[in-house]
Chain A
Amino acid sequence: MVDTETPPGTAADEPRGAFGGRSRRPAAAAVRRRRGPGRPSAGSGRMAALLVSPTLLVLTVVVLYPTIMALRESLYGAKGLDPKTGFIRTTEPFVGLRNYADIFGEASERFWNAFWNTTFFTVVTVGLETVIGVAMALVMHRAFRGRALVRASILVPWAVPTAISALLWRWIFHSDGIANALIGHQVLWTTEGFHAKVAVIIAEVWKTAPFIGLLVLAGLQVIPKEVYEAARIDGAGPLGQFWRITLPLVKPALLVAVLFRCLDALRMFDLPYILVGAQKTSVETLSMLAQDQASNVRFGPAAAYAVILFLYVFLIALGFVRLLGADVTGDGGAARGNRSGRRRRAVGYGAEVTA
């Protein structure tokens, strides 16, 4: 929270600082420009528009436009025989909400299975990652000797591509692999069943817990030592210090880490796809379901699944930001308990869907 930002609201209340606002008098703009950075002026507004618009343009093309297209596409059916004429259609027929009706009707079993798999994976992996990540961060924070080694090794799982880590775990979980040799049992990990879920969860947690550990460590390092000293003088034990001081103070960092991990886990694809395989009931996630439909040229249903997943992710993100006050932009608005800032951000999310 050592930003150079002016108090919230200043920018919005300053009419001349309008985003894309035009300067009527160039001379005045030049004078204003001299006032230095950090203050809204017509000059900085115009400059900001110039600097920001290419990014917004690209994101509109690669994110917003496809999202709208997915919405539209989800209302169309597949090419095929026209039941009325018996001819093969060359265009896709408009079917309204039929794709959605099918998802909750005919195909509901597969959909709900994928939905619960996605939710189960997210809750369990993020839960385990948080516990392991916090434990790792506590160890790293205390360790002075061997710190460089720990920090180097903790980046390794993060740097391994997910697809490669899936192959690696597929090998570890092979019927004659090291995992079975270690537990002394013959488990067919990568076949249908609950053990396949366990395999996916272990592989996912291995790769991502260190990431949470890193973010929490960064949060730990900014807690002043005096706070702990004061607590010790007041008679708090190690456990009391952890619950009353460490956890509340790393909460903002942890919350952002957990939010990012949740949203990432909700779109899980590579790991179950490679580790266990496509079209496997035990591990099929919503992303896999949508991709499977699209690769079979059933774009309508695929788009409908994609839209549902999108809404699910959006609701979870909104929940985090509104209920828990996760400070995503990193400029400390929510941490300061700034209600208006939080509301403004929520409007931001809303605008994205309706736009």
Chain B
Amino acid sequence: MTASAKWRARLLYAGVAAVVAYCLAPFYWMVVSSLRRSSDVFDTSLLPSAVSFENYRAVFEPSQGFTRALGNSLIVAGVTTALALLLATFTAYAMARLEFRFKRLVLTLIIATSMFPVVSIVVPLLKLFTDIGWINTYQAMIVPSMSFALPLAVWNLTTFFRQMPDELEQAAMIDGCTRGQAFRKIIVPLAAPGIFTTAIITFIAAWNEFLIALSMTNKQAMQTAPVAISKFSGATQFETPFGSQMAAGVLVTVPLVVMVLVFQRRIVAGLTAGAAK
């Protein structure tokens, strides 16, 4: 190995370390801060001087309503994901496999809707939902969430279906399957990993939604987790409970991070779908 090659290798390691530190340092800080005692929450040492779960106990105090908020988040994000996937699977199949007029236009329209500013949908819907008494209901959060979840799912699934060889269905259809049967018996089982990945990506997008959940609720009992955490109150009005906010943040984020780490290969494939052809 020449001297310059050695230096290049070192530079590369430094680069890798920099990328990892960039991505993980703030997250690490959240975890560390959540484990401090409230008396030394302003400590800036890299490890907590004494590990304490005080903040985590504070999160689950009944007055914060955090358990309920987690449940609300699960319901809203879960139902949104299920509905979006159900509709998107059929549509994406048509997009990837069938030739029809206006196909390009329809796909463009669907993708374009995912780029809508959410606020321009929320404002009129807020008024409508106020009039029909939907404020503080799950459907008031699920319906607007479809506006970004559905296009996301269609787009992801279309790329997955496109990657599957045509011959599979052709063979099934030659063997006497109708197109519908070929879809049900051949395509859906084989596309299961793609559908699963799309479900994770859609779920994370719906779970992380804030603006809709903030606008459509004004009762603590109906808030989703991100909204509830942002409204955590301290002992006094002027004291922000950073410790318990960090603890709640860890609780909301860790399931996502674990899910992402377990399925990282697939998620990367899903996220980059369409970017590299």
Binding site for B on A (CB under 8 A): 1-4, 6, 8, 10-12, 14, 17-19, 21, 33-34, 36-41, 43-45, 47-49, 51-52, 54-56, 58-59, 61-63, 66-67, 69-70, 73, 132, 135-136, 138-140, 142-143, 146, 149-172, 174, 176-178, 181, 206, 209-211, 213-215, 217-219, 221-222, 252-253, 256-257, 260, 263, 266-267, 269-270, 273-274, 286-287, 290-291, 293-295, 299, 302-303, 305-307, 309-310, 313, 317, 328-333, 335, 341, 344-345, 347-349, 351-352
Contact = CB atoms under 8 A, between A and B. Distances in A.
Contacts of B12: 139, 142-143
A211 B271 CA distance: 9
A45 B90 contact: no
Given A139-B16, A310-B117, A317-B115, A161 B208 contact: yes
Describe A's contact surface by its main secondary structure: helix
Q: Which of the listed residues A151, A217, A348 has the most CB atoms from chain B within 10 Å of its own CB?
A: A348
Contacts, number: 373
Interface in B138-180: 143-144, 146-147, 150-151, 154-155, 158-159, 162, 166, 169-170, 173, 178-179
Interface string B221-233: 0000011011000
A348 B104 contact: yes
B112 interface: yes
A166 B208 CA distance: 12
Closest 10 CB pairs of A and B: A330-B274, A218-B272, A163-B226, A306-B120, A161-B208, A139-B15, A69-B124, A267-B117, A218-B276, A48-B100
Contact of A45 (B101, B109, B155): B101
B211 A51 contact: no
A170 B245 CA distance: 11
B105 A63 contact: no
B277 A156 contact: no
B199 interface: no
Contact of B275 (A70, A218, A293): A218
A167 B276 contact: no
Interface residues of B, number: 106
Given A156-B24, A163-B229, A215-B271, A51 B120 contact: no
Contacts of A162: 208, 210, 226
A288 B154 CA distance: 29
B129 to A, nearest CB: 11
B3 to A, nearest CB: 16
A38 B116 CA distance: 31
Given A70-B123, A256-B274, A348-B105, A55 B128 contact: no
B124 A54 contact: no
Contacts of A349: 108, 112
A159 B253 contact: yes
